[in-house]
Structure 1
Amino acid sequence: MAAVILLAAVLLPLLLTPAESARGSSNNVSFDSAALSFSDLTLLGDSFLRNGSVGLTRDTGVPSSSAGSVLCSRAVAFGNGSSFAARFSFVIAEQNAGATGGDGIAFFISPDRATLGATGGYLGLFNSSVKSNSSAAAAIVAVEFDTMLNEEFGDQSDNHVGVDLGSPASVSAVDLAAFGVVLNSGNLTTAWIDYHGREHRLQVSLGYSAAKPAKPVLSVAVDLSPYLRDAMYVGFSASTEGSTQQHTIKEWTFQTFGFPSTTNSSTTSNASPQAAVLGDTASGAAASRKKRFGLAVTILGPVALAVSFVFFAWVSIKKLIEITSRKDTGFLPDLVKGPRKFSHKELSAATRGFHSSRVIGKGAFGTVYKAVMPSTATAYAVKRSTQAHQSRSEFVAELSVIACLRHKNLVQLEGWCDEKGELLLVYEYMPNGSLDKALYGEPCTLSWAERYTVASGIASVLSYLHQECEQRVIHRDIKTSNILLDASLRPRLGDFGLARLMDHNKSPVSTLTAGTMGYLAPEYLQSGKATEQTDVFSYGVVVLEVCCGRRPIDKDDGGGGAGKNVNLVDWVWRLHGEDRLIDAADPRLAGSFDRDEMLRLLLVGLGCANPNCDERPAMRRVVQILNREAEPVAVPRKKPLLVFSSSASMKLQEIAFSCGDEVRGGLPAAVATSPKSEGGDIER
């Protein structure tokens, strides 16, 4: 086989002329959103994916300030005189009729793949503290589709298109009233942006149909060569400020053209004598090439036939081996294009044969190893499943859900492996470990600002999982050890949806330790059914841990002797009832925190940990509270009481209670009663 390929490699150059061998490839690039995978996109701020579209701002009926952007992760190299063309369809809709509008959408080209700016008139692209001549902002080229009149930026109207160069103040703009286009009408609008580098002209066209209008709405002479560098990123951004406007990009294409060709195909009419001699020489060379071509075909014909036969036989045998080696032939991964399949061999090498020295964590799903790829030195976290008996079809179904999730506060799934009877998940590696280690390590290095960022980030990602995904995801195991910290100490929620990868007929509580019990909602202990509200309860406990620096079930060291178990929610609620809520703050902070933020976060934690699931706020509401866009939920001074029924599906002997709590039975219904403020029932 190798000899045949070597012979072909030796003979093939006979078919190529020197000019053909030297032919270069074009530098032009072309993107189409329909062909991009999730790994080709970078989502920043409040942007999200839904049904093949990109939402740039929060999808909420409550007025809020929001900013988001999406970029293509592939860099585009621009050259002198290069041109580009973009086409995209978008919808700007106002949920509440008659409400104040938002601020609009911008198409941009930036040298920074992490471009995200302020809300309001800055369109999620620029910042108020960044002047137009500083850092990467000076190189941003943008076309804004603005729906808000901002006089500070010289806007003409609340319905205009403008060209921005390093600043939200447009260098040229046009009111769209004369063209019959209303940007925030809620209609699908298509935009065409064409830049001709040699003519230094930028044109913008708009319409409600797929046909490009004959006349552009904006045509301006501008030289973009000082802004278009060797490596730039293409994207979209949008923002709101105290509005419910939604900004959605439906589809888009982008291409560059006009780069100089590596070959010169032009001819000249005034041929010199030397050119004539070269022409005669070329004629003779052509005849010689015909002879060589005939010889090559004579030899390569049988060779090509042999190569084809050997290749076909090799592919067939390999396919047969793969099929017969699979115990479950139904496992044909039909996942999104983002995560890739790793081989067991490369993961084994990256973890040193899954050596114990590479273990960085253990959980219900299995053991987590640190993997370092020998070829690239890239670090990953590899989760080795202990659920080898699980059907592969179920593994694919659950993995498909996880692979579609993309949020800045989620640990990103990079790939998977299903070889040698094992199920392996590959995630990006988080260098700062878990929140549990950062919060309870000695010394604790987390500042108050970092703790507040953790609470806000996890609230944002839970809102995404519960309300913004195409398929709702219930996490089921939110706790500090499942919250990881990246290199910038930003929170990333890990192990999401892993309960769905386990046996569904097995009680999720029976495998949990007593230390985890402090995170479980009362109704979950009773019915065994996980809901959005059970996640909210767990989040409330995590928030109280972040504020207090105490575990959900901790030892009370006061009073001397062996301390008894204390439930964190009970302890904080008692301080709240005594009007001493601020005393719950972690003493290790030594008072270095914002008092208003501490009280706000403590009240959020208590509100989420309310024993009555109907009284807990939705995670979208929590996000608004932490962003100061809504007031905290009302929290009663006395913790509500809850009664369990005797028909609870869990064996109470399996549950590790603390604080000497009891369980009352005898109710006929399988649901908890409404919370009470008095009586002899036991508090949870």
Structure 2
Amino acid sequence: MWVGFSASTGSSPLVEDHYILAWSFVTGNNKTLDLDTLHLPSFYVRGPKFYNSMEFIYIIVICSAAFILGLILGIFYWFKRTDYINFTEQWELECWPHRFAYQELNHSTKGLRDDNLLGYGGFGRVYRGTLPLGEEVAVKCITKDFTEGMEEFMAEISSLGRLQHRNLVPLRGWSRKNKRLFIVYDYMCNGSLERNLFSPKLSLTWAHRYKILTDVAAGLLYLHEQWDKCVVHRDIKSSNVLLDSDQNGRVGDFGLARLYDHSEKPQTTHVVGTLGYIAPELIHSGKATPSTDVFSFGALMLEVACGRKPVDAQGMILVEWVWDLYANKRLVDAVDQRLGGDYDKGEAEIVLVLGLVCSNPDPRERISMRNVLQILSGKAALPVDLNVPSAFKHSYIDIAEFNSFSATSLELLE
């Protein structure tokens, strides 16, 4: 016979402790020994060993997961902060002084959301923003990857920031995030000339249109001749002419502008611009000059007078159509029909003829912005008996040919 003790935890996975405090055993007729319970060791119930329980394992797993998640979020936040913060390089100290913090511009445009998108410009999008003091601005996000050439680009932007003329949109400042640049302009509450010109509701009278063209001519004259350097805008078009609170025309978006000394010859560069506004010689030579801006302004004048795009969806070139009307002595038929005849016929003739002169495919036949402004202001006579270019159509390339150019040789920005 074997005598002993046995214990079990049953179906529970928990660990238990079992204690024998006293015991007595007899066999046969022997007298049972009395147990002295007064001197037994103190008895207490010990709880289960928590570190061996499933609850403990669950807590460890949850805490570990929370720690890992917190670590990941911390790393992400650190990278996000470093993305916001750009260390100032030495060359930036020489730039036009007002640099906005990226956080400020990001907050002012609500994270560059599409709800605040004003439009598209050369190399990027333009967003509406509100600065902390309530001032409204337009923020152009230049999406071009500046892996090189940022210093030279910023040198030009800094110079352009010093331009001051009532018919130019003022530059407020700039910001940088890694290899992307942000240029801040004053916000023009009445939007672009393009939006007003082609809105379903006729919002621009002839008097407004003539005044806006005169304003733009004054702004371009300042850029070409009256500032310290010669500035070639390179992207004159209706969407880049903005209207302030008094409906004054202002030239904006200098993201593609080039400047050089008045005695310096322009250098060959990438061909940029918008179809219909690009001078023919620019495609062949790659040299942007004041004369190429004059061509763009001529296309703009015809667009404003006729209420038609320089190139429509069917590929019809506006300047060719107006030349045909001029040759057939029906120039007045080109005026925007939506005006219902409510316009000054003398001013209409001035705008249309100037548009043809400025849009001449031969740059030698064009006039300067100084002459244009003098004629618009009534201080000089309008050219008469224009010679219709015999090879006019051959000076233009069709849309299919234009779009077939390699992206490395031609950047078409619409």
Global fold match (TM > 0.5)? yes
Amino acid at match of 1:365: F
Determine helix, strand or coil for the equivalent of 1:414. Answer: strand
d(CA) in 2 for partners of 1:348, 1:413: 18
Q: Identify the residue that residue 413 of structure 1 maps to in structure 2.
A: 171
Pair 1:351-2:98 in alignment: no
Q: CA deviation at 1:653?
A: 6.6
CA spacing shift, 1:652–1:553, aligned 2, 3 Å: closer
Q: Identify the residue that residue 137 of structure 2 maps to in structure 1.
A: 380
Q: CA deviation at 1:454?
A: 1.0
d(CA) in 2 for partners of 1:572, 1:333: 51
Q: 1:481 aligns with which of 226, 239, 245?
A: 239
Contact 1:331 1:396 in 2 (8 A): no
Q: Identify the residue that residue 116 of structure 1 maps to in structure 2.
A: none
Contact 1:518 1:552 in 2 (8 A): yes
CA RMSD for the aligned pairs?
A: 2.9
More strand by share: 1
Determine helix, strand or coil for the equivalent of 2:92. Answer: coil
d(CA) in 1 for partners of 2:137, 2:174: 12
d(CA) in 2 for partners of 1:499, 1:619: 17
Amino acid at match of 1:398: E
d(CA) in 2 for partners of 1:355, 1:344: 15
d(CA) in 1 for partners of 2:223, 2:176: 26
Contact 2:291 2:366 in 1 (8 A): yes
Q: 1:333 aligns with which of 93, 108, 116?
A: 93
Q: Identify the residue that residue 284 of structure 1 maps to in structure 2.
A: none
d(CA) in 2 for partners of 1:464, 1:530: 17
CA spacing shift, 1:597–1:652, aligned 2, 3 Å: closer
Note the alpha carbon deviations across 1:81-115, whole angstroms, 9 max, x for none.
xxxxxxxxxxxxxxxxxxxxxxxxxxxxxxxxxxx
Contact 1:540 1:608 in 2 (8 A): yes
Contact 2:231 2:257 in 1 (8 A): no
* Structure 1 runs not aligned, ≥5 long: 1-321, 556-563, 658-684
CA spacing shift, 1:519–1:421, aligned 2, 3 Å: closer
Q: Identify the residue that residue 567 of structure 1 maps to in structure 2.
A: 317
d(CA) in 2 for partners of 1:651, 1:606: 19
Note the alpha carbon deviations across 1:590-645, whole angstroms, 9 max, x for none.
11111111111111111101111011010001010001000012352523425979
TM-score (norm 1): 0.43
d(CA) in 2 for partners of 1:656, 1:384: 25
Kindly tell me the number of residue pairs found equivalent between the two proteins.
314
CA spacing shift, 1:651–1:326, aligned 2, 3 Å: farther
Contact 1:331 1:392 in 2 (8 A): no
Pair 1:655-2:402 in alignment: yes
Amino acid at match of 1:342: F
Pair 1:620-2:370 in alignment: yes
d(CA) in 2 for partners of 1:651, 1:634: 30
Q: Identify the residue that residue 341 of structure 2 maps to in structure 1.
A: 591
Q: CA deviation at 1:517?
A: 1.5
Pair 1:422-2:186 in alignment: no
Determine helix, strand or coil for the equivalent of 1:446. Answer: coil
Write out aligned runs for 1:240-389 (5 A). Answer: 329-336=89-96, 340-373=98-131, 375-389=132-146
Write out aligned runs for 1:518-529 (5 A). Answer: 518-529=276-287
Q: Identify the residue that residue 460 of structure 1 maps to in structure 2.
A: 218
Determine helix, strand or coil for the equivalent of 1:466. Answer: helix
Q: CA deviation at 1:327?
A: 7.2
CA spacing shift, 1:330–1:617, aligned 2, 3 Å: same
Q: Identify the residue that residue 288 of structure 2 maps to in structure 1.
A: 530
Contact 2:220 2:369 in 1 (8 A): yes
d(CA) in 2 for partners of 1:631, 1:652: 36
Amino acid at match of 1:334: E
Runs of 4+ in structure 1 off by over 6 angstroms are: 650-653
d(CA) in 1 for partners of 2:393, 2:341: 38
Q: Identify the residue that residue 388 of structure 2 maps to in structure 1.
A: 638
Q: Identify the residue that residue 278 of structure 1 maps to in structure 2.
A: none
d(CA) in 1 for partners of 2:385, 2:238: 24
Q: CA deviation at 1:326?
A: 5.5
Pair 1:491-2:254 in alignment: no
Q: CA deviation at 1:651?
A: 12
CA spacing shift, 1:454–1:401, aligned 2, 3 Å: same
Q: CA deviation at 1:420?
A: 4.3
Note the alpha carbon deviations across 1:337-386, whole angstroms, 9 max, x for none.
6xx2211111111111112211111222211111112x322110011111
Note the alpha carbon deviations across 1:252-293, whole angstroms, 9 max, x for none.
xxxxxxxxxxxxxxxxxxxxxxxxxxxxxxxxxxxxxxxxxx
More helix by share: 2
Note the alpha carbon deviations across 1:473-500, whole angstroms, 9 max, x for none.
0011111111111111111111125254
d(CA) in 2 for partners of 1:429, 1:529: 31
Pair 1:507-2:270 in alignment: yes
d(CA) in 1 for partners of 2:348, 2:253: 28
Q: Identify the residue that residue 442 of structure 1 maps to in structure 2.
A: 200
d(CA) in 1 for partners of 2:245, 2:400: 42
Q: CA deviation at 1:421?
A: 4.1
d(CA) in 1 for partners of 2:385, 2:300: 17
Note the alpha carbon deviations across 1:555-574, whole angstroms, 9 max, x for none.
5xxxxxxxx43211011111
Determine helix, strand or coil for the equivalent of 1:418. Answer: strand
Contact 1:344 1:420 in 2 (8 A): no
Q: What fraction of aligned residue pairs are identical, expressed as a percent?
A: 41
Q: Identify the residue that residue 356 of structure 2 maps to in structure 1.
A: 606
Determine helix, strand or coil for the equivalent of 1:388. Answer: coil
Write out aligned runs for 1:187-202 (5 A). Answer: none
Determine helix, strand or coil for the equivalent of 1:450. Answer: helix
Q: Identify the residue that residue 5 of structure 2 maps to in structure 1.
A: none
Note the alpha carbon deviations across 1:155-207, whole angstroms, 9 max, x for none.
xxxxxxxxxxxxxxxxxxxxxxxxxxxxxxxxxxxxxxxxxxxxxxxxxxxxx
Q: Identify the residue that residue 403 of structure 1 maps to in structure 2.
A: 161
Determine which structure has more spread, i.e. the larger CA radius of gyration.
2
Q: Identify the residue that residue 629 of structure 1 maps to in structure 2.
A: 379
CA spacing shift, 1:528–1:654, aligned 2, 3 Å: farther
Amino acid at match of 1:535: D
Amino acid at match of 1:593: Y
Pair 1:544-2:291 in alignment: no
CA spacing shift, 1:604–1:595, aligned 2, 3 Å: same
Note the alpha carbon deviations across 1:393-424, whole angstroms, 9 max, x for none.
11321112211211111110011112444311
CA spacing shift, 1:652–1:499, aligned 2, 3 Å: farther
Amino acid at match of 2:135: T
